[in-house]
Amino acid sequence: MSEKFFWEAVRDALKEEMIRDPNVFLMGEDIAIYGGAYGATRGLYEEFGEERVRDTAISEAAIAGAATGAAMLGMRPVAEIMYADFLTLAMDQLVNTAAKNRYMFGGRTKVPLVLRTEGGAGRGIAAQHSQSTEAWFNHVPGLYLVMPATPYDAKGLLKTCIRDDNPILFVEHKMLYGTKGEVPDEEYLIPLGLADVKRAGKDVTVIAYSKMVLESLKAAEQLAEEGIDAEVVDLRSIKPLDVDTIVRSVRKTGRVICVSEGCKMNGVASELVSVIQEEAFDYLDAPVRRVCAADVPIPMSPVLEAAAVPSAEDVVQAAKDLLG
Protein backbone atom coordinates (compact mmCIF):
# COMPACT_ATOMS: atom_id res chain seq x y z
CA MET A 1 0.00 0.00 0.00
CA SER A 2 1.01 3.59 -0.68
CA GLU A 3 -0.71 6.68 0.66
CA LYS A 4 -1.83 8.86 -2.22
CA PHE A 5 -3.87 11.95 -2.85
CA PHE A 6 -7.18 11.49 -4.63
CA TRP A 7 -5.84 13.30 -7.71
CA GLU A 8 -2.81 11.01 -7.77
CA ALA A 9 -5.03 7.95 -7.72
CA VAL A 10 -6.97 9.29 -10.71
CA ARG A 11 -3.77 10.09 -12.58
CA ASP A 12 -2.27 6.67 -11.85
CA ALA A 13 -5.41 4.94 -13.13
CA LEU A 14 -5.21 6.93 -16.37
CA LYS A 15 -1.51 6.23 -16.77
CA GLU A 16 -1.79 2.50 -16.17
CA GLU A 17 -4.66 2.12 -18.61
CA MET A 18 -2.84 4.15 -21.26
CA ILE A 19 0.18 1.87 -20.90
CA ARG A 20 -2.00 -1.24 -21.01
CA ASP A 21 -4.14 -0.23 -24.02
CA PRO A 22 -2.90 2.02 -26.86
CA ASN A 23 -6.51 2.81 -27.76
CA VAL A 24 -6.95 4.79 -24.53
CA PHE A 25 -6.42 8.51 -24.98
CA LEU A 26 -7.34 11.67 -23.07
CA MET A 27 -9.02 14.84 -24.28
CA GLY A 28 -10.35 17.98 -22.66
CA GLU A 29 -9.73 21.61 -21.84
CA ASP A 30 -6.29 22.32 -20.34
CA ILE A 31 -5.56 18.66 -19.59
CA ALA A 32 -2.29 18.46 -21.53
CA ILE A 33 0.31 21.16 -20.96
CA TYR A 34 -1.47 22.57 -17.90
CA GLY A 35 -2.21 19.15 -16.41
CA GLY A 36 -5.91 19.64 -15.72
CA ALA A 37 -7.84 22.14 -13.62
CA TYR A 38 -7.21 20.06 -10.50
CA GLY A 39 -3.94 18.43 -11.55
CA ALA A 40 -5.30 14.97 -12.27
CA THR A 41 -3.54 14.68 -15.65
CA ARG A 42 -0.24 16.33 -14.74
CA GLY A 43 2.78 14.67 -16.31
CA LEU A 44 0.79 12.55 -18.78
CA TYR A 45 1.30 14.90 -21.73
CA GLU A 46 5.05 14.72 -21.25
CA GLU A 47 4.93 10.92 -21.04
CA PHE A 48 2.47 10.05 -23.81
CA GLY A 49 2.62 13.04 -26.17
CA GLU A 50 0.05 15.22 -27.87
CA GLU A 51 -1.61 12.41 -29.84
CA ARG A 52 -2.82 10.69 -26.69
CA VAL A 53 -3.24 13.67 -24.35
CA ARG A 54 -5.12 16.30 -26.30
CA ASP A 55 -6.03 19.82 -25.36
CA THR A 56 -9.34 20.67 -26.98
CA ALA A 57 -11.21 23.77 -27.97
CA ILE A 58 -13.37 25.40 -25.31
CA SER A 59 -16.50 23.55 -26.41
CA GLU A 60 -18.08 20.91 -24.20
CA ALA A 61 -20.34 19.86 -27.08
CA ALA A 62 -17.29 19.25 -29.28
CA ILE A 63 -15.50 17.30 -26.55
CA ALA A 64 -18.45 14.98 -25.88
CA GLY A 65 -19.31 14.61 -29.55
CA ALA A 66 -15.77 13.83 -30.69
CA ALA A 67 -15.26 11.40 -27.81
CA THR A 68 -18.49 9.59 -28.68
CA GLY A 69 -17.46 9.25 -32.32
CA ALA A 70 -13.98 8.02 -31.37
CA ALA A 71 -15.48 5.43 -29.02
CA MET A 72 -17.81 4.12 -31.71
CA LEU A 73 -14.83 3.70 -34.05
CA GLY A 74 -12.86 1.54 -31.62
CA MET A 75 -10.94 3.98 -29.46
CA ARG A 76 -11.35 4.31 -25.68
CA PRO A 77 -11.46 8.04 -24.99
CA VAL A 78 -11.39 9.50 -21.51
CA ALA A 79 -12.79 12.97 -21.97
CA GLU A 80 -12.85 15.66 -19.30
CA ILE A 81 -15.49 18.35 -18.81
CA MET A 82 -13.93 20.88 -16.46
CA TYR A 83 -17.01 21.33 -14.25
CA ALA A 84 -20.15 19.23 -13.96
CA ASP A 85 -22.17 22.42 -14.42
CA PHE A 86 -20.88 22.59 -18.01
CA LEU A 87 -22.40 19.21 -18.86
CA THR A 88 -25.50 21.14 -19.92
CA LEU A 89 -23.51 22.20 -23.00
CA ALA A 90 -22.82 18.55 -23.86
CA MET A 91 -26.27 17.23 -22.99
CA ASP A 92 -27.36 16.28 -26.51
CA GLN A 93 -24.16 14.43 -27.36
CA LEU A 94 -24.06 12.58 -24.04
CA VAL A 95 -27.74 11.86 -23.48
CA ASN A 96 -29.12 11.46 -26.99
CA THR A 97 -26.10 9.97 -28.76
CA ALA A 98 -23.56 8.31 -26.46
CA ALA A 99 -26.16 6.78 -24.14
CA LYS A 100 -28.42 5.45 -26.89
CA ASN A 101 -26.28 4.38 -29.84
CA ARG A 102 -25.42 0.88 -28.66
CA TYR A 103 -29.13 0.16 -28.22
CA MET A 104 -30.25 1.87 -31.41
CA PHE A 105 -27.70 -0.03 -33.53
CA GLY A 106 -28.74 -3.35 -32.00
CA GLY A 107 -25.39 -3.90 -30.31
CA ARG A 108 -23.41 -3.64 -33.56
CA THR A 109 -21.55 -0.69 -32.12
CA LYS A 110 -20.17 0.01 -28.65
CA VAL A 111 -19.52 3.32 -26.94
CA PRO A 112 -16.61 2.73 -24.51
CA LEU A 113 -16.47 6.35 -23.39
CA VAL A 114 -15.54 7.67 -19.96
CA LEU A 115 -16.43 11.28 -19.34
CA ARG A 116 -14.69 12.65 -16.24
CA THR A 117 -15.96 15.79 -14.57
CA GLU A 118 -15.61 17.70 -11.31
CA GLY A 119 -18.73 18.32 -9.23
CA GLY A 120 -19.84 19.61 -5.87
CA ALA A 121 -19.52 22.69 -3.68
CA GLY A 122 -16.93 23.90 -1.19
CA ARG A 123 -14.64 26.29 -3.04
CA GLY A 124 -16.81 29.40 -3.01
CA ILE A 125 -17.07 29.52 -6.79
CA ALA A 126 -20.83 30.03 -6.85
CA ALA A 127 -23.88 28.67 -8.59
CA GLN A 128 -22.45 27.88 -12.04
CA HIS A 129 -19.37 26.00 -10.80
CA SER A 130 -20.59 24.18 -7.67
CA GLN A 131 -23.60 22.07 -8.58
CA SER A 132 -24.23 18.39 -8.00
CA THR A 133 -25.88 17.42 -11.28
CA GLU A 134 -25.86 13.64 -10.98
CA ALA A 135 -29.63 13.27 -10.69
CA TRP A 136 -30.08 14.62 -14.22
CA PHE A 137 -27.99 11.81 -15.68
CA ASN A 138 -29.22 9.07 -13.38
CA HIS A 139 -32.49 9.35 -15.31
CA VAL A 140 -30.86 8.41 -18.65
CA PRO A 141 -31.01 4.75 -19.78
CA GLY A 142 -27.76 3.54 -21.29
CA LEU A 143 -25.52 5.82 -19.25
CA TYR A 144 -23.61 4.63 -16.17
CA LEU A 145 -22.86 6.97 -13.26
CA VAL A 146 -19.90 6.54 -10.88
CA MET A 147 -18.96 8.80 -7.94
CA PRO A 148 -16.07 7.58 -5.74
CA ALA A 149 -15.26 8.93 -2.27
CA THR A 150 -11.72 7.69 -1.62
CA PRO A 151 -8.43 7.44 -3.54
CA TYR A 152 -8.67 3.64 -3.39
CA ASP A 153 -12.12 3.63 -4.95
CA ALA A 154 -11.26 6.35 -7.46
CA LYS A 155 -8.41 4.35 -8.96
CA GLY A 156 -10.08 0.94 -8.95
CA LEU A 157 -13.35 2.22 -10.35
CA LEU A 158 -11.79 4.43 -13.02
CA LYS A 159 -9.73 1.53 -14.36
CA THR A 160 -12.89 -0.59 -14.53
CA CYS A 161 -14.78 2.20 -16.29
CA ILE A 162 -12.09 2.61 -18.94
CA ARG A 163 -12.32 -1.10 -19.76
CA ASP A 164 -16.14 -1.10 -19.91
CA ASP A 165 -17.93 -0.96 -23.27
CA ASN A 166 -20.62 1.51 -22.15
CA PRO A 167 -20.60 5.31 -21.75
CA ILE A 168 -19.84 6.25 -18.14
CA LEU A 169 -20.04 9.57 -16.36
CA PHE A 170 -17.29 9.59 -13.73
CA VAL A 171 -17.81 12.43 -11.24
CA GLU A 172 -14.96 13.51 -8.96
CA HIS A 173 -15.87 15.89 -6.15
CA LYS A 174 -13.56 18.88 -6.35
CA MET A 175 -13.08 18.91 -2.56
CA LEU A 176 -11.75 15.34 -2.59
CA TYR A 177 -8.64 15.93 -4.70
CA GLY A 178 -6.61 16.95 -1.66
CA THR A 179 -7.73 14.01 0.50
CA LYS A 180 -5.38 11.08 1.10
CA GLY A 181 -5.86 7.36 1.43
CA GLU A 182 -4.15 4.01 1.01
CA VAL A 183 -3.91 2.64 -2.54
CA PRO A 184 -2.46 -0.79 -3.41
CA ASP A 185 0.79 -0.77 -5.35
CA GLU A 186 -0.32 -3.72 -7.47
CA GLU A 187 -3.09 -3.53 -10.07
CA TYR A 188 -6.67 -3.94 -8.90
CA LEU A 189 -10.17 -3.33 -10.25
CA ILE A 190 -13.43 -2.54 -8.45
CA PRO A 191 -16.61 -3.87 -10.11
CA LEU A 192 -19.36 -1.44 -10.98
CA GLY A 193 -22.59 -1.83 -9.04
CA LEU A 194 -20.92 -2.95 -5.83
CA ALA A 195 -21.42 -0.71 -2.79
CA ASP A 196 -18.99 -0.72 0.11
CA VAL A 197 -19.85 -0.73 3.81
CA LYS A 198 -17.35 1.84 5.01
CA ARG A 199 -18.40 1.41 8.65
CA ALA A 200 -20.46 -1.40 10.17
CA GLY A 201 -23.20 -0.56 12.66
CA LYS A 202 -26.48 -1.80 14.07
CA ASP A 203 -28.67 1.21 14.97
CA VAL A 204 -29.07 3.23 11.77
CA THR A 205 -27.96 2.97 8.14
CA VAL A 206 -26.47 6.03 6.46
CA ILE A 207 -26.33 5.71 2.66
CA ALA A 208 -24.09 8.21 0.89
CA TYR A 209 -21.72 8.71 -2.03
CA SER A 210 -18.85 10.98 -3.06
CA LYS A 211 -17.86 13.61 -0.47
CA MET A 212 -20.97 12.90 1.60
CA VAL A 213 -19.40 9.56 2.57
CA LEU A 214 -16.71 11.46 4.46
CA GLU A 215 -19.33 13.65 6.14
CA SER A 216 -21.30 10.55 7.06
CA LEU A 217 -18.24 8.88 8.59
CA LYS A 218 -17.60 12.00 10.67
CA ALA A 219 -21.21 11.87 11.79
CA ALA A 220 -20.87 8.17 12.69
CA GLU A 221 -17.91 8.95 14.95
CA GLN A 222 -19.88 11.70 16.70
CA LEU A 223 -22.88 9.43 17.11
CA ALA A 224 -20.69 6.68 18.55
CA GLU A 225 -19.70 9.02 21.37
CA GLU A 226 -23.39 9.19 22.28
CA GLY A 227 -23.95 5.44 22.09
CA ILE A 228 -25.48 5.34 18.59
CA ASP A 229 -23.92 2.78 16.24
CA ALA A 230 -24.27 3.98 12.62
CA GLU A 231 -23.55 1.89 9.54
CA VAL A 232 -22.20 3.89 6.58
CA VAL A 233 -22.83 2.48 3.09
CA ASP A 234 -20.89 4.05 0.21
CA LEU A 235 -22.75 3.50 -3.06
CA ARG A 236 -19.63 4.16 -5.19
CA SER A 237 -21.69 3.70 -8.35
CA ILE A 238 -25.17 5.18 -8.56
CA LYS A 239 -25.92 3.34 -11.78
CA PRO A 240 -25.65 0.39 -11.65
CA LEU A 241 -26.99 0.50 -8.10
CA ASP A 242 -26.21 -2.18 -5.52
CA VAL A 243 -29.71 -2.79 -4.16
CA ASP A 244 -28.70 -5.99 -2.36
CA THR A 245 -26.19 -4.26 -0.06
CA ILE A 246 -28.72 -1.53 0.70
CA VAL A 247 -31.42 -4.04 1.61
CA ARG A 248 -29.08 -6.09 3.80
CA SER A 249 -28.17 -3.00 5.78
CA VAL A 250 -31.80 -1.92 6.15
CA ARG A 251 -32.71 -5.38 7.44
CA LYS A 252 -30.03 -5.07 10.08
CA THR A 253 -30.75 -1.55 11.37
CA GLY A 254 -34.38 -0.78 10.52
CA ARG A 255 -33.63 2.94 10.18
CA VAL A 256 -32.16 4.73 7.18
CA ILE A 257 -30.77 8.15 6.26
CA CYS A 258 -30.02 8.90 2.61
CA VAL A 259 -27.38 11.61 2.20
CA SER A 260 -26.70 13.51 -1.02
CA GLU A 261 -25.13 16.86 -1.89
CA GLY A 262 -27.69 17.19 -4.66
CA CYS A 263 -30.92 19.06 -4.07
CA LYS A 264 -33.66 17.19 -2.25
CA MET A 265 -36.34 17.63 -4.93
CA ASN A 266 -36.27 14.63 -7.31
CA GLY A 267 -32.68 13.81 -6.37
CA VAL A 268 -30.63 10.63 -5.94
CA ALA A 269 -31.71 10.44 -2.30
CA SER A 270 -35.33 10.40 -3.42
CA GLU A 271 -34.62 7.44 -5.70
CA LEU A 272 -32.94 5.61 -2.82
CA VAL A 273 -36.01 6.16 -0.66
CA SER A 274 -38.20 4.68 -3.39
CA VAL A 275 -35.95 1.64 -3.78
CA ILE A 276 -35.96 1.02 -0.02
CA GLN A 277 -39.75 1.42 0.14
CA GLU A 278 -40.18 -1.15 -2.65
CA GLU A 279 -37.55 -3.65 -1.56
CA ALA A 280 -37.29 -3.38 2.23
CA PHE A 281 -40.43 -1.70 3.55
CA ASP A 282 -41.26 -4.48 6.00
CA TYR A 283 -37.89 -4.05 7.74
CA LEU A 284 -38.29 -0.32 8.44
CA ASP A 285 -38.93 0.83 12.00
CA ALA A 286 -39.23 4.50 11.00
CA PRO A 287 -39.68 6.57 7.85
CA VAL A 288 -36.56 6.99 5.71
CA ARG A 289 -34.93 10.39 6.14
CA ARG A 290 -33.21 12.46 3.45
CA VAL A 291 -30.31 14.80 4.18
CA CYS A 292 -29.68 16.85 1.05
CA ALA A 293 -28.68 20.26 -0.21
CA ALA A 294 -31.21 23.06 0.00
CA ASP A 295 -33.23 23.70 -3.16
CA VAL A 296 -31.31 26.89 -3.91
CA PRO A 297 -28.51 27.91 -6.29
CA ILE A 298 -25.20 27.32 -4.49
CA PRO A 299 -24.15 30.67 -2.94
CA MET A 300 -20.68 32.16 -3.34
CA SER A 301 -20.48 33.29 0.28
CA PRO A 302 -18.61 30.61 2.28
CA VAL A 303 -21.06 30.93 5.16
CA LEU A 304 -24.12 30.60 2.94
CA GLU A 305 -22.51 27.84 0.87
CA ALA A 306 -21.88 25.81 4.01
CA ALA A 307 -25.48 26.34 5.08
CA ALA A 308 -26.79 25.15 1.70
CA VAL A 309 -25.06 21.76 1.58
CA PRO A 310 -25.26 18.84 4.03
CA SER A 311 -22.76 18.43 6.85
CA ALA A 312 -21.88 15.81 9.44
CA GLU A 313 -23.96 17.74 11.96
CA ASP A 314 -27.03 17.42 9.72
CA VAL A 315 -26.57 13.65 9.58
CA VAL A 316 -26.13 13.49 13.35
CA GLN A 317 -29.35 15.40 13.91
CA ALA A 318 -31.25 13.19 11.45
CA ALA A 319 -30.06 10.07 13.28
CA LYS A 320 -31.10 11.45 16.64
CA ASP A 321 -34.52 12.32 15.25
CA LEU A 322 -34.93 8.80 13.88
CA LEU A 323 -33.96 7.21 17.17
CA GLY A 324 -36.16 9.48 19.20
Residue 324 and residue 322: Cα distance in Å, rounded? 6
60 is catalytic: yes
Q: Which CATH class is domain 196-322?
A: alpha beta
- On the question of a common fold for 2-183 and 196-322, the answer reads yes
Contact 168, 115 (CB under 8 A): yes
**How many Cα neighbours within 13 Å face the side chain of 234?**
22
The pLDDT tens digits for 281-294 are 999 999 999 999 99
Contact 53, 26 (CB under 8 A): yes
The pLDDT tens digits for 217-260 are 999 999 999 999 999 999 999 999 999 999 999 999 999 999 99
The pLDDT tens digits for 163-220 are 999 999 999 999 999 999 999 999 999 999 999 999 999 999 999 999 999 999 999 9
Q: Give yes or no for residue 24 having a pLDDT over 90.
A: yes
pLDDT for 208: 98
Q: Give yes or no for residue 71 having a pLDDT over 90.
A: yes
Catalytic option among 8, 60, 118, 172: 60
Average pLDDT, the chain: 97
Q: What is the pTM of this model?
A: 0.97
Catalytic option among 8, 17, 129, 172: 129
Residue 28 Rama label (left phi>0; alpha psi -120 to 50; beta): left
> Please, which pLDDT band fits residue 324 given cuts at 50, 70 and 90?
confident
Contact 101, 68 (CB under 8 A): yes
From the candidate CATH numbers 3.40.50.970, 3.30.2000.20, 3.90.1300.10, 3.40.50.150, the one assigned to the domain spanning 2-183 = 3.40.50.970
The pLDDT tens digits for 96-155 are 999 999 999 999 999 999 999 999 999 999 999 999 999 999 999 999 999 999 999 999
Sequence spans of domains, the chain: 2-183, 196-322
